Amino acid sequence: MDKPWLAHYPPGVPAEIDPDRYRSLVQLLEEAFEKFAARPAFVCMGKTLAFRDVDRLSRQLAAWLQSLGLERGARVALMMPNILQYPVAIAAVLRAGYTVVNVNPLYSAPELEHQLKDSGAQAIIILENFAHTLQKVMSATAVRHVVVAAMGDLLGAIKGRVVDFAVRRVKKLVPPFHLPGAVTFRQALAWGARLPLEPVEVGPDDIAFLQYTGGTTGVAKGAILLHRNVAANVLQSDAWLLTGDRPAAADGLRAQEIFVCALPLYHIFGLTVCALLGMHAGGLNVMITNPRNIPEMVKTLSGYRFTLFPGVNTLFNALLHNAEFASLDFSGLRVSVGGGMAVQKAVADRWVAVTGSPLCEGYGLSETSPVACCTPINIKAYSGTIGIPLPSTEAAILDDDGKPVPHGEQGEIALRGPQVMAGYWNMPEETARVLTPDGFFKTGDIGIMDERGYIRIVDRKKDMILVSGFNVYPNDVEAVVSQHPGVLECAAIGVPDEHSGEVVKVVVVKRDPALTEQDIKDFCRDRLTGYKRPRHVEFREELPKSNVGKILRRELRAGGQGA
């Protein structure tokens, strides 16, 4: 197919990557452990793990996981924020021959139950702060092995005890829980240290991650990301983001990149572009456990001359509104890239004014591992586009019949490349709906490609709501709100918000005339994750519907902009 975008690649970026360079992510990781052994790999709360430490600890944890007798390819769930245990656990699960199921630690009990049941996860590694949620649903799932991590596990004996005391006793962030048979993270490491790690032949078509996402139905789906999908996207991201001539470090390898790892590793953007790309490139990931605490994040970053800053528009905007942020050392910052939601022009303009680094915009989905398009890193100003396809990636704009439209015309964005998922877990019909016979993934986003190959998103085919880069599916919200005895009918939509891009609004037809906005919000508080809770509630006498009775969310979106 015609690839006009190749003429606009920055110097040094190849048209193609070698998707067969690594047989698996295990090979990619183990090469990094050997090549960069002495380098620092991850730092969190002042504690640093070198590559050799991640190698050793993940070997121990992998050996313990193998001792459980799980079958090859078994699903192991990880439910943690950005702490040092997370990259260790990712490497351990993959090296043991199993599949990682990333879980948002803020999930409510019903959300967690669905993901564990759907994936068939048999084991889970979970931070103790969220173990009470697991307790509520574990009996309804296939999970039989639980590893409970504590915040201080890998911070050293003295500091670890201090941190755990503060988390448990002072801040009281660990609700009581009871999980019989659970072992601690430190116990699993200790037992694994006495066991051999049995080599497992992991191949390119083995499943590395079940990355849960959603779609037009609102039902969470597990995107099947094979080892070759994610390894390819690491190489594509490397080629795009880390190109250029840089002096060698003292060890003779390329100079170390320092990543700001504020994106959660359970999110595909943070997983690939921070953790995995960082390890492949021999970089240091500065892990931010709570990116909502902007002053603390700025304080952490003040100790580093960071070079790569992936994030979402809301994070960049919040940092720019912090008085201390502008005083940081930006002299090493080569690449800032926003994804997960649209980068706003006002934020991009102010970002380059403050940091001196243009704010690039990337585009992708869980189904594409995730990065598929990005503006070139040598851009000079905000473009209002999602850029051009990465190496070995093709993009097409399709009409309703699946045929390409001319440049400048609207259609559905479709993507093809080695990073595109194998399909949805146990959902063949949904897989067939989004993957074309010739290998294109239909994204559900409506866009326009110009004659240069640059793509601009103009609308979303999906009803999905995007809150600070996280997907919210209207059916999930409606299923909860409709359970309120005072609600007759409801519909959920997204409305613009200057802080998070969009927030959830519900439009309700009352059954009980006394029903109030606060009643709805109180009802949702314990039933939905924070970013899924309605921020606005509107009451109407009736909802717009099609002639077959389907609620027309599009009409609600056209008429509602907040409370």
Q: What is the CATH number of the domain that holds 415?
A: 2.30.38.10
Q: Is 485 helix (H, G, I), strand (E, B) or coil?
A: coil
Residues 128, 111 contacting (CB under 8 angstroms):
no
> Is residue 18 over pLDDT 90?
yes
Region 344-350 average pLDDT = 90
Backbone Cα Rg of the chain: 23
pLDDT score recorded for residue 215? 42
pLDDT score recorded for residue 136? 98
- Greatest Cα pair distance, the chain, in angstroms, is 73
pLDDT score recorded for residue 563? 41
pLDDT score recorded for residue 216? 37
Q: Which of 177, 202, 227 is the last residue of a domain?
A: 202
Q: Residue 546 — very low, low, confident or very high, per pLDDT cuts 50/70/90?
A: low
Q: Which backbone phi and psi does 322 adopt, to 5 degrees?
A: -95, 130
Measured distance CA(475)–CA(494) in Å, rounded: 12
Q: Residue 49 — very low, low, confident or very high, per pLDDT cuts 50/70/90?
A: very high
Region 403-431 average pLDDT = 96
Within a domain: residue 228?
A: no
Within a domain: residue 332?
A: no
Which residues have C-beta within 8 Å of that of residue 303, sequence separation ≥ 6?
Answer: none
pLDDT score recorded for residue 346? 86
Q: Which of 202, 218, 235 is the last residue of a domain?
A: 202
Q: Which residue spans within 468-543 are E strands per DSSP?
A: 470-472, 487-497, 501-510, 536-539
Q: Which backbone phi and psi does 248 adopt, to 5 degrees?
A: -75, 150
* Strands ordered across the beta sheet of 501-510: 487-497, 501-510, 536-539
* 529 and 452 both lie in a single domain: no
* 483 and 446 both lie in a single domain: no
Which of 159, 102, 173 is CA-nearest to residue 366?
Answer: 102
Return the C-alpha torsion angle 346, 348, 351, 355, nearest 10.
-150
Within a domain: residue 347?
A: no
Within a domain: residue 249?
A: no
pLDDT score recorded for residue 219? 67
pLDDT score recorded for residue 545? 81
Within a domain: residue 13?
A: no
Measured distance CA(354)–CA(376) in Å, rounded: 20
pLDDT score recorded for residue 371? 98
* 452 and 475 both lie in a single domain: no
* 443 and 480 both lie in a single domain: no
Which residues have C-beta within 8 Å of that of residue 338, sequence separation ≥ 6?
Answer: 310, 311, 312, 313, 316, 348, 359, 360, 361, 362
pLDDT score recorded for residue 244? 62
Which residues have C-beta within 8 Å of that of residue 329, sequence separation ≥ 6?
Answer: 302, 305
Among 204-218, 392-406, 419-433, whose mean pLDDT is lowest? 204-218
pLDDT score recorded for residue 549? 59
* 399 and 524 both lie in a single domain: no
Q: Residue 400 — very low, low, confident or very high, per pLDDT cuts 50/70/90?
A: confident
> Is residue 249 over pLDDT 50?
yes
Measured distance CA(502)–CA(560) in Å, rounded: 12
* 506 and 454 both lie in a single domain: no
Region 514-535 average pLDDT = 96
pLDDT score recorded for residue 66? 98
DSSP characters over 167-194: IIIIS--------TT-EEHHHHHHHHHT
pLDDT, tens digit (0-9, with 9 covering 90-100), for 55-105 = 999 999 999 999 999 999 999 999 999 999 999 999 999 999 999 999 999
Measured distance CA(362)–CA(374) in Å, rounded: 4
pLDDT score recorded for residue 204? 98
pLDDT, tens digit (0-9, with 9 covering 90-100), for 351-396 = 999 999 999 999 999 999 999 999 999 998 899 999 999 999 999 9
pLDDT, tens digit (0-9, with 9 covering 90-100), for 303-339 = 999 999 999 988 998 999 999 999 999 999 999 999 9
What CATH number does the domain containing 151 carry? Answer: 3.40.50.980
* 81 and 191 both lie in a single domain: yes
**Tokens coding 268:** 């595909």
What CATH number does the domain containing 535 carry? Answer: 3.30.300.30
Count the domains in the chain: 3
> Is residue 548 over pLDDT 70?
no
Region 228-236 average pLDDT = 98
pLDDT score recorded for residue 389? 98
* 422 and 546 both lie in a single domain: no
* 408 and 472 both lie in a single domain: no
Query: Position of tokens 């803020």?
Result: 106
Say which residue, 325 or 482, is predicted with more confidence: 325
The mean predicted confidence, pLDDT, of the chain is 94
> Is residue 218 over pLDDT 90?
no
Measured distance CA(16)–CA(20) in Å, rounded: 12
* 422 and 501 both lie in a single domain: no
* 549 and 489 both lie in a single domain: yes
Within a domain: residue 346?
A: no
Within a domain: residue 266?
A: no
Instruction: Give the residue numbers spanning the domain of 407.
Output: 395-460
Q: Which of 409, 436, 460 is the last residue of a domain?
A: 460
* Angle ∠(16,21,23) on CA atoms, nearest 5: 135
* 82 and 183 both lie in a single domain: yes
370: preceding bond cis by omega (within 30 degrees): yes
Within a domain: residue 227?
A: no
Which of 217, 214, 143, 229 is CA-nearest to residue 179?
Answer: 143
